[in-house]
Amino acid sequence: MTDRPDVAHRRPDGVGDTTVAATGKLSEALEIIERARGHLYAFHQLTGGADLALDEAVELFREAGHTHIADRISTELIGRNVLAGRWTFQIIEEYDDGYYGLFRDVERAVRDELLDGRRHLYEAEMKEARRTRGAPGHSARPESQEDG
């Protein structure tokens, strides 16, 4: 095996630096969106956990004789929509089916059109520029990978 990236991480013939940089920036933006989506799922889980925790609070308020507080929490807060007509799972579904889905589709279509579908070319080229060839821990790819 030669000490160079596999074909999937080599620039296709005729692709210029600006194209690699632009697709790299688009992929970076998608990675940021992936993180945002993770935060949306955290919001979903935290909100759901809080709603379930209210059950115990209501029970304790009733036990303490604060029925009016327990009733208010039960009727006004537990099970309430977080946005008009939506629980958090519905927000996630709308986000996934709309903005997130389109973002992923556009990023993949651009890579398919300009880079033969190859991923992370910008990073692969950065790795080549930064690694020390022949030094331990600096190989281009796993030793088990064959050139393709």
Model pLDDT, residue 82: 97
Residue with tokens 């697709």: 23
pLDDT tens over the chain, length 148 residues:
578 999 999 999 999 999 999 999 999 999 999 999 999 999 999 999 999 999 999 999 999 999 999 999 999 999 999 999 999 999 999 999 999 999 999 999 999 999 999 999 999 999 999 999 999 999 999 876 655 5
Give the type of residue at 91. I
Provide the pLDDT for residue 2.
Answer: 75
The residues, ordered by sequence, that sit 6+ positions from 42 with a Cβ below 8 Å of its Cβ are none
H-run or E-run covering 52: helix 17-63
Residues 6+ apart with CB under 8 A from 55: 78
Give CA separation, 54 vs 51, 59, 126, in Å. 5, 9, 50
Distance set, CA 81 to CA 4, 54, 68, 70 (Å): 54, 15, 22, 19
pLDDT of residue 147: 56
In the chain, where the domains are located:
16-125
pTM, to two decimals: 0.85
Q: Which two tokens stand for residue 119?
A: 């991923």
Q: Contact, 121 vs 7, CB < 8 A? A: no
pLDDT at residue 70, as a whole number = 98
